[in-house]
Amino acid sequence: MTPISFEFYPPKTDEQRAQLDRAAARLATRSPEYVSCTFGAGGSTLSYTAETVRHLNQHHGFDAAPHLSCVGGNREEIRELLKLYRAIGCRRIVALRGDLPSGMGHPGDLRYAAELVELIRAEHGDRFRIEVAAYPETHPQAEDALADLRHFKAKVDAGADAAITQYFYNADAYFRFVDDARRLGVEVPIVPGIMPISNFTQLRRFSEACGAEIPRWITKRMQAFGDDAVAVREFGADVVADLCRQLVAGGAPGLHFYTLNLARPTEAVLQRLA
Ligand code: FAD
């Protein structure tokens, strides 16, 4: 069976905490290999990420990996966090550059994720399994697609064990990216990031910001459903399940679901795959 993993974000209110608990409890029955918890650039969720990871480990029995982004932070802050993650028993880290909120000051001591991977390996050896980000449709700030691919390779050369991709709805972009990476000598697993579709308006807005393309035919079909939430959900789950089938059939080594702390959209996809 293809290994799966789930991504959550750190809740900040009691209501959000209850929502995470509900989603985590339901998704735990799917036996994920691990789960991960995002990290807000600029320090806004610094403590929440560690707290959430600890909760996901202790309360839900997951192997939970904190995301750690280096932008805006200094080496000492990063070292402190790594120490904390070691102390609470984390075995994996998702190492990222992150994005500074617009207009927010200094980029910090480390400019790119490759430097963060280097720091973790230099100071913690093989204590953590390190996942990094990859962009089958190219990172929005990259000079060009090939430069982005080389920068991805630099993270692997610095010691990353595996990659999780930005989400996409075009399987060919993923297969091409993996082929190109292999040609450059990158051998680590490249796990597709899967974004189930629940709120299509929100997804479109978010996709523009992170450079993920929603194919025109999906947008057109979604628009035709209008306010029919059930039709949107069913069609979204069919589309994403088809994508997952293609990816797995084509050799994807796992599926990493962006859950947005909701169980239902991810479950709808997994049910179709069963
Ligand atoms: P990098 O790999 O450092 O690349 C960033 C950009 O710089 C790319 O355009 C790259 O081509 C370019 N670049 C890299 N090295 C060089 C170089 N030497 N010279 C010139 N250009 C270079 N964000 C968060 O804030 N919190 C999260 O928890 C989070 N989780 C994520 C999880 C996944 C799986 C993914 C795919 C993304 C996540 N992000 C998260 C978003 C991510 O932080 C942003 O996409 C960010 O803009 C880039 O991070 P990165 O680690 O890919 O950066």
Is 33 part of a structural domain of the chain? yes
- Residue 2 and residue 251: Cα distance in Å, rounded? 10
Q: How many Å separate Cα 126 from the centre of its chain?
A: 22
Q: How far is the CA of 230 from the centre of ligand 1 (A)?
A: 34
Is 211 part of a structural domain of the chain? no
Q: How far is the CA of 136 from the centre of ligand 1 (A)?
A: 13
Give the per-residue SS3 of 84-145.
HHHHCCCCEEEEECCCCCCCCCCCCCCCCHHHHHHHHHHHHCCCCEEEEEECCCCCCCCCCH
Give 4-42 pLDDT, tens digit per residue: 999 999 999 999 999 999 999 999 999 999 999 999 754
Is 113 part of a structural domain of the chain? yes
Give 91-133 pLDDT, tens digit per residue: 999 999 998 776 666 778 999 999 999 999 999 999 999 999 9
Nearest CA to ligand 1 atom 44: 98
Is 207 part of a structural domain of the chain? no
Q: Please, which residues have CB within 8 angstroms of residue 219's CB and are 6 or more apart in sequence?
A: 204
Give 146-173 pLDDT, tens digit per residue: 999 999 999 999 999 999 999 999 999 9
CATH of the domain at 150: 3.20.20.220
Is 273 part of a structural domain of the chain? no
Is 210 part of a structural domain of the chain? no
Give 197-208 pLDDT, tens digit per residue: 988 999 999 999
pLDDT of 43: 52
Is 208 part of a structural domain of the chain? no
Q: Work out the pLDDT band at 72, boundaries 50, 70, 90.
A: confident
Which of the following is catalytic: 7, 115, 118, 267? 7
Is 274 part of a structural domain of the chain? no
Instruction: Please compute the mean of the pLDDT values over residues 129-147 and round it to a whole number.
Output: 97
- Residue 56 has which token pair? 């996901």
pLDDT of 47: 66
User: Does 44 score more than 80 pLDDT?
Assistant: no
Nearest CA to ligand 1 atom 36: 166
Among residues 259, 223, 224, 227, the alpha carbon closest in space to that of 240 is found at: 259
Q: How far is the CA of 98 from the centre of ligand 1 (A)?
A: 6
Structural domain including 190 reads: 4-196+254-261
Domain count of the chain? 1
